[in-house]
């Protein structure tokens, strides 16, 4: 009883000892904040990665791809049975994209992914990352009139609105140029006639040459208007042998960019835009490609050795997963278009080869087990396909984040341990200060264990108060982290959490109750450990010496 | 060897190996005391040929060099001597706060200097009251809590709460006796020296001890407060028959006591 009373009184009369606990408190709070932010980042990243990547991928590195995907799909379904939720076939290729911006051609390396628009959305969260609401429902690679994320002003206008506007402008400019050219021609013709008439008056051997030149030019000029339009159309159509791919454009048909689209392509938003800041420091996107623009993509065909082929596509939407790595490289096109262009379609069976088969499992299915089953089904030694889970492919990244978290935790726990030494010193001071009282208690018959438990109890109380306050502070910090970041920005004038870097608008946090319990238990344990030595010292004190102590 | 002390060994018919304070409960103490009072000339505490020396930097200072001392039940025994003669040392040995280098300490016919630490703690708690020159109250506790402290120490949490009302009643009546019932919830630093010493006396009495050891209880007080403390102790002795062993510098006080010994040169001389 006296133990409880005394350690409670010591706590009440020695609030200063809480100062030594503040370090533990801060340590606990920081640990909670860091862990929840790291967990938030990790799980956002995992969610996104998992959303983008299917659970399992059966893929081949061979340029010809998997020639008989249906056979594989049947085997996979047979092996995994009920646990399969969705399956799709994909052609993935490294490719180079060229687009025109402000009159300059820009090239960029991309990952060209041919997807089956019927099934691709069933293996990943693909649809929800598209901008147009209709495409979110169902992607059809058809350019929409408008309505691409209307809340993004920087993106407007987009779709047919944008395309027709650009084409009209282009036409206007071309006809303007044409008129100018005709004018030039007329002027030079007049001049030449003038010169010719002038020259004719001079007896010269050059006479014949100049007349010939004049004749040649004259032969071209009546034709000019027609040839210019052809040229424009050719420019717009590109050096395409791929016109056949657009059913609406039979051979010989002149492609009308203002009213027709090419095969649709969905670009990662990072390919078509840059994120930066305006002079006010506001985050702004700048789109140099919009839905409605045409881009040309060069990729290898399936021949051996592979040859680069070039295709024109119309951007029909953007893909924004907020994983900058993916957003900056992924470009999706219809798989049939890619197969046809690359020559991956078997002329006999009419079956298109694919480079990978992606599988989505039911939520309760075990990823590892399914992967191992497929590895067993397609042993690497006998088949030319590899089976990987999304965790395998993203393993290094996840491991790196995990390592980072672990190191941070170790460091923070060290800080708390250092704080433990502060508590140790404080407790020693308190025991020394209380020497006479310890002597008195012993003279009143208090056993050494009782006296030790006073100080141990004091340590437990201080540790609990400290970690309790720390947990509360940490939770408040986490719950208000975005407001705090804003205040910090306002105070320091520096961006704490830069959305141009992280692609998140707010700092993601996740609080695991288990983590909070662990952290606070750890802090209390350190306070107890730090009070053990002083307690033993108090218990061992000689009563007479203690009573004599001044 | 202990010719100066009239010792009657084994006067209690059933003195067992178990120290008596282990079986005596606070509630039964009253009856015990009545029985003890009827035995006159009984030695309650006894030191036999006790030596004690302190070691300091290899040189050993012998403070007590074969001390024989006894105090009788129901009497006030005074110990006088020069400063540094070892009075406090002897008192600490009698109170089992320290162990003698050689010799024996007996209490109620039981040897107590060789008991285990736990048993000595119990002995101090149940059988002994101690007061000091510098009061030694616990500064964090109120006057009432200071008085109750030994009872709290002696009982488990559960039994304390069971007996709480009785203990508090006793503490209040003790505070009343020492004239401090109006200051029960004050902290020691709000009290005068005399008041603190009264509190210390009340604290020493809460467990109804057999023996009160007082180390210069008036040493830090003015004449008047000292006298009132002394009067309080006298009254206690007369009314309850409490045995008191008191160290004092004051010849006046010493003269009023029933027995008087002087410590000199590490030995005890009996003066009265
Ligand atoms: N821990 C110790 N180490 C060394 N010497 C000690 C120790 N405690 C006491 N002494 C010595 O023992 C002697 C007796 O001390 P003690 O306190 O018993 O004297 P005292 O008679 O009570 O004196 P006073 O009247 O001043 O209280 C003193 O000379 C003192 O210096
Ligand atoms: Mg002394």
Interface confidence, given as ipTM, is 0.82
pLDDT in tens, A90-148: 998 899 999 988 888 889 999 999 999 888 888 888 888 898 988 888 888 998 888 88
- Residue identifier of the C-alpha nearest atom 31 of ligand 1: B84
Locate A38 and state its tokens. 């790291």
What integer pLDDT is reported at residue A504 of this predicted model? 66
Q: Is the CB of B85 under 6 A from ligand 1?
A: yes
pLDDT in tens, A47-103: 777 777 888 888 887 777 888 888 889 988 988 888 888 899 999 889 999 998 888
A496/A490 Cα distance (integer angstroms): 10
Pick from B68, B80, B48, B64: which is nearest to B245 by CA?
A: B80
Compute φ and ψ for A434, nearest 5 degrees.
Answer: -95, 10
Instruction: State which of B50, B85, B133, B268 you would mutate to test the pocket of ligand 1, scoring each by most atoms of that ligand within 8 A of its C-beta.
Output: B85
- Which of the four pLDDT bands, split at 50, 70 and 90, describes residue A193? confident
Considering chain A, what percentage of its residues have pLDDT values greater than 70? 88
What integer pLDDT is reported at residue B29 of this predicted model? 42
pLDDT in tens, B143-182: 989 999 998 888 888 888 888 898 899 999 888 888 888 8
pLDDT in tens, A392-449: 887 787 788 888 888 988 988 888 788 888 888 888 888 998 899 999 999 998 899 9
B15/B22 Cα distance (integer angstroms): 12
Contact list, B95 vs chain A (CB under 8 Å): 443
Contact list, B124 vs chain A (CB under 8 Å): 442-445
Question: Are the CB atoms for B65 and B50 separated by under 8 Å?
Answer: no
Tell me how many degrees the CA angle B10-B13-B15 measures, rounded to the nearest 5. Answer: 65
Q: How many CA atoms lie within 13 A of B241 on its CB side?
A: 17
Question: Are the CB atoms for A294 and A312 separated by under 8 Å?
Answer: yes
Mutate to test the interface with A, among B97, B125, B130 (most CBs of A within 10 A): B97
Nearest CA in chain B to A446: B153
- Gap between the terminal Cα atoms of chain A: 27
CA distances from B179 to B92, B136, B198, B243 (A): 28, 19, 8, 22
Q: Report the pLDDT averaged over residues A486-515.
A: 76
A310/A15 Cα distance (integer angstroms): 76
Q: Mark which residues 2-21 of A lie under 8 Å from B by CB.
A: 2, 4-6, 9-10, 12-13
Q: Is the CB of B271 under 6 A from ligand 1?
A: no
Nearest CA in chain A to B89: A544
Tell me whether residues A441 and B138 touch, CB distance under 8 A.
yes
Locate B165 and state its tokens. 């009302």
Instruction: State which of B47, B52, B54, B246 you would mutate to test the pocket of ligand 1, scoring each by most atoms of that ligand within 8 A of its C-beta.
Output: B54
Nearest CA in chain B to A14: B140
What's the B83 CA to ligand 2 centre distance in angstroms? 7
- Residue identifier of the C-alpha nearest atom 26 of ligand 1: B83
Lowest mean pLDDT, pick from A13-22, A284-293, A345-354, B262-271: A13-22
Sign of the Cα torsion B259, B262, B268, B272 reads negative
Tell me how many degrees the CA angle A175-A181-A182 measures, rounded to the nearest 5. Answer: 90
A445 → closest Cβ in B141, B153, B160? B153
Question: Are the CB atoms for A241 and A254 separated by under 8 Å?
Answer: no
Mutate to test the interface with A, among B123, B140, B148 (most CBs of A within 10 A): B140
CA distances from B266 to B82, B102, B181 (A): 11, 14, 42
B56/B226 Cα distance (integer angstroms): 35
Pick from B231, B211, B200: which is nearest to B132 by CA?
A: B200
Q: Is the CB of B55 under 6 A from ligand 1?
A: no
Note whether A442 contacts B: Cβ–Cβ < 8 A: yes
Only one residue has tokens 């705090």, namely A484
Strands B128-131 and B110-111, how do they pair? unpaired
What's the B269 CA to ligand 1 centre distance in angstroms? 19
Contact list, A2 vs chain B (CB under 8 Å): 149, 152-153
B207/B202 Cα distance (integer angstroms): 10
Compute φ and ψ for A196, nearest 5 degrees.
Answer: -60, -45
Domain B21-270, CATH: 3.40.50.300
Decide if pLDDT at A333 tops 90.
Answer: yes
A445 → closest Cβ in B132, B154, B161? B154
B203/A544 Cα distance (integer angstroms): 19
Domain boundaries, chain B: 21-270
Q: Report the pLDDT averaged over residues A235-247.
A: 44
What integer pLDDT is reported at residue A503 of this predicted model? 59
- Bigger pLDDT: A440 vs A466: A440
Global pTM value: 0.63
A117/A138 Cα distance (integer angstroms): 8
- Which of the four pLDDT bands, split at 50, 70 and 90, describes residue A499? low
Q: Report the pLDDT averaged over residues A304-333.
A: 88
Q: Mark which residues 136-175 of B lie under 8 Å from A by CB.
A: 136-141, 145, 149-150, 152-157, 160-161
């Amino acid at each position: 009883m006296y133990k409880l009373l005394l350690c409670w009184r010591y706590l009440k009369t020695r609030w200063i000892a809480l100062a030594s606990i503040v370090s533990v408190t801060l340590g606990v709070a920081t640990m909670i904040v860091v862990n929840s932010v790291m967990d938030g980042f990790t799980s956002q990243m995992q969610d996104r990665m998992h959303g983008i990547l299917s659970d399992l991928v059966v893929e081949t590195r061979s340029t010809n791809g998997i020639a008989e995907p249906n056979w594989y799909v049947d085997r996979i379904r047979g092996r995994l049975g009920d646990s399969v939720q969705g399956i799709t076939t994909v052609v993935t290729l490294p490719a180079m994209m060229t687009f025109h911006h402000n009159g300059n051609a820009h090239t960029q390396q991309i990952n060209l992914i041919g997807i089956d628009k019927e099934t691709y959305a069933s293996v990943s969260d693909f649809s929800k990352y598209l901008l147009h609401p209709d495409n979110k429902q169902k992607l059809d690679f058809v350019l929409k009139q408008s309505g691409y994320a209307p809340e993004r002003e920087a993106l407007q206008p987009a779709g047919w609105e944008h395309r027709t506007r650009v084409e009209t402008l282009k036409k206007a400019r071309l006809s303007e140029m044409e008129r100018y050219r005709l004018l030039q021609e007329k002027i030079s013709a007049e001049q030449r006639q003038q010169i010719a008439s002038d020259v004719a008056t001079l007896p010269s051997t050059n006479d014949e040459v100049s007349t010939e030149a004049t004749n040649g030019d004259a032969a071209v000029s009546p034709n000019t208007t027609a040839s210019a339009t052809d040229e424009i159309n050719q420019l717009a159509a590109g050096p395409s042998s791929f016109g056949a791919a657009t059913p609406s454009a039979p051979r010989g048909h002149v492609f009308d960019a203002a009213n027709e689209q090419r095969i649709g392509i969905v670009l990662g938003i990072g390919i078509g835009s840059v994120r930066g800041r305006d002079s006010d420091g506001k985050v702004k996107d700048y789109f140099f490609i919009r839905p409605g623009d045409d881009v040309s993509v060069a990729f290898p065909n399936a021949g051996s050795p592979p040859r680069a082929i070039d295709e024109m596509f119309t951007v029909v939407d953007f893909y924004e997963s907020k994983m900058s790595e993916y957003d900056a490289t992924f470009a999706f096109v219809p798989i049939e278009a890619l197969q046809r262009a690359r020559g991956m379609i078997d002329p006999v069976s009419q079956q298109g080869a694919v480079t990978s088969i992606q599988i989505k499992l039911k939520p309760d299915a075990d990823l590892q087990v399914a992967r191992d089953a497929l590895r067993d089904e397609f042993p690497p030694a006998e088949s030319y396909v590899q089976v990987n889970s999304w965790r395998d492919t993203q393993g290094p990244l996840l491991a790196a984040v995990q390592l980072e978290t672990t190191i941070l935790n170790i460091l923070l726990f060290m800080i708390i341990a250092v704080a433990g030494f502060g508590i140790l010193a404080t407790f020693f001071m308190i025991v020394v200060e209380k020497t006479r009282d310890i002597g008195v208690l012993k003279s009143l018959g208090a056993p050494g264990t009782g006296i030790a438990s006073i100080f141990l109890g004091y340590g437990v109380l201080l540790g609990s108060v400290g970690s309790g306050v720390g947990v509360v502070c940490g939770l408040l910090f986490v719950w208000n982290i975005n407001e705090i970041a804003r205040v910090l920005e306002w105070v320091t004038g520096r961006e704490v959490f830069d959305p141009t870097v992280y692609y998140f608008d707010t700092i993601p946090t996740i609080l695991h109750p288990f983590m909070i319990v662990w952290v606070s238990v750890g802090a209390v344990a350190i306070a107890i450990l730090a009070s053990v030595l002083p307690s033993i010292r108090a218990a061992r004190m000689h009563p007479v010496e203690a009573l004599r102590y001044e | 060897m202990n010719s100066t002390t009239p010792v009657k060994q084994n006067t209690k018919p059933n003195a067992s190996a178990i120290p008596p304070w282990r079986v005596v409960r606070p509630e039964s103490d009253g009856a015990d005391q009545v029985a003890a009072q009827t035995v006159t000339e009984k030695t309650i505490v006894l030191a036999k040929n006790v030596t004690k020396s302190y070691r300091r930097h290899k040189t050993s200072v012998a403070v007590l060099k074969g001390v024989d001392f006894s105090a009788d039940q129901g009497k006030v025994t005074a110990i006088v001597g020069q400063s540094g003669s070892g009075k406090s040392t002897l008192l600490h040995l009698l109170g089992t706060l320290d162990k003698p280098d050689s010799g024996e300490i007996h209490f109620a016919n039981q040897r107590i200097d060789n008991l285990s630490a736990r048993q000595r703690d119990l002995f101090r708690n149940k059988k002994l009251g101690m007061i000091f020159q510098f009061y030694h109250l616990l500064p964090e506790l109120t006057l009432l809590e200071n008085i109750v402290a030994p009872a709290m120490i002696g009982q488990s949490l559960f039994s304390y709460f069971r007996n709480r009302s009785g203990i508090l009643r006793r503490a209040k009546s003790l505070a009343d006796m020492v004239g401090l019932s109006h200051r029960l919830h004050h902290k020691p630093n709000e009290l005068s020296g005399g008041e603190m010493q009264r509190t210390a006396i009340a604290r020493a009495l809460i467990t109804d001890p057999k023996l009160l050891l007082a180390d210069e209880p008036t040493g830090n007080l003015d004449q008047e407060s000292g006298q009132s403390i002394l009067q309080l102790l006298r009254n206690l002795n007369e009314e309850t028959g409490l045995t008191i062993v008191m160290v004092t510098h004051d010849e006046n006080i010493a003269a009023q006591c029933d027995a008087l010994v002087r410590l000199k040169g590490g030995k005890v001389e009996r003066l009265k």
